[in-house]
């Protein structure tokens, strides 16, 4: 009598399991050159903590359909993310496209790191932009390259060659300009980033964010104290803004300016986890915004 267990032998030349979910322990026992990991987190998330394995691709969830050709059908593919939620969605998407060799790793990076499995911390290069001198680049306070001359006397300094850099305030002034910071009105920017190909979860995230703001923060929206913006990261006109927030796919960001200080809060994990449960999503986002007041 032959009993077939869900995990196929790792010695098989074409190791493909019939199982659709694996624990971290099971994946660890299967690690070899034939196994391919596909991380469906956004690229910027990998800067915090990445899977340290030999064969791995990064394909953000909302780019999965457009980049499916990168995923082979002749080897075992393990789908991973931060918590196992997005990789579970990726599994369903790929199944509908005819993939039978993919499986979701339960718990994602959270479970992987807790189990002591190999991870690596990536440090993204810090982009330094030259500080432009002032609103008039032909001012006597400016050097030939557009940067400020030493001891330039101006209170209208624009930030830099790239006004969307992390060194800039939303109005283009330098963060290092304390006077500009003090004069900047308190405001909360709510950004939903997305790509061309949007999954159901991504669409729900966008709709639920709008519903939260319209229902509980209508007055702040009308007064301009809260600004809601949907940003297509694949649109060239949004390239600088997407780069500033390191958004390469679907993401939900809160960008707060308060009392001359700036704070950026990435709540993408919460958004993905609860996007398909409107009640929980709205309650959580409402709470996070209220806590910033």
Report how far apart, in Å, the C-alpha atoms of 105 and of each of 28, 54, 79, 89, 128 are: 11, 17, 6, 12, 38
Instruction: Say which of 10, 81, 133, 202 is annotated catalytic.
Output: 81
Q: Would you call 81 a catalytic residue per the annotation? A: yes
Report how far apart, in Å, the C-alpha atoms of 206 and of each of 110, 158, 237 are: 25, 33, 20
> Which backbone phi and psi does 188 adopt, to 5 degrees?
-120, 125
Residues 6+ apart with CB under 8 A from 70: 57, 59
| Token pair in block for residue 163 | 């006004």
233 touches 248 (CB < 8 A): yes
Q: What is the DSSP string of 217-256?
A: -HHHHHHTSEEEEEEETTSGGGHHHHHHTT-SSSEEEEEE
254 touches 188 (CB < 8 A): yes
| Token pair in block for residue 73 | 């059908």
Biggest CA–CA distance in the chain, Å, is 90
| Token pair in block for residue 210 | 């709008």
Residues with a catalytic annotation lie at 81
């Amino acid at each position: 009598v032959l009993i077939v267990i869900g995990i196929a032998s790792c010695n098989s030349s074409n190791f493909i399991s019939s199982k659709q979910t694996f624990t971290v322990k099971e994946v660890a026992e299967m690690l070899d050159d034939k196994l391919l990991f596909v991380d469906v987190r956004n690229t910027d998330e990998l800067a915090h903590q990445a899977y340290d394995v030999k064969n791995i691709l990064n394909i953000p969830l909302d780019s999965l359909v457009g980049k499916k050709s990168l995923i082979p059908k002749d080897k075992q593919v393990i789908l991973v993310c931060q918590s196992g939620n997005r990789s579970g969605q990726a599994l369903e998407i790929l199944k509908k496209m005819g993939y039978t060799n993919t499986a979701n790793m339960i718990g994602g990076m959270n479970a992987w790191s807790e189990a002591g499995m190999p991870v690596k911390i990536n440090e993204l290069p810090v982009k330094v932009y030259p500080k432009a001198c002032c609103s008039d680049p032909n001012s006597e306070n400016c050097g030939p390259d557009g940067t400020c001359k030493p001891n330039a006397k101006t209170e209208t300094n624009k930030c830099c060659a790239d006004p969307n850099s992390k060194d800039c305030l939303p109005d283009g002034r330098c963060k290092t300009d304390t006077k500009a910071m003090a004069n900047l009105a308190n405001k909360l920017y709510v950004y939903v980033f997305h790509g061309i190909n949007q999954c159901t979860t991504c669409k729900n995230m966008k709709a639920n964010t709008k519903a939260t703001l319209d229902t509980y923060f209508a007055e702040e929206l009308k007064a301009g104290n809260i600004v809601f913006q949907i940003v297509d990261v694949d649109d060239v006109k949004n390239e600088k803004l997407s780069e500033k927030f390191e958004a390469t796919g679907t993401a939900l960001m809160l960008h707060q300016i308060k009392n001359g200080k700036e704070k950026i809060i990435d709540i993408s994990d919460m958004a993905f986890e609860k996007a398909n449960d409107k009640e929980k999503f709205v309650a959580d986002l409402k709470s996070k915004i209220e806590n910033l007041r």
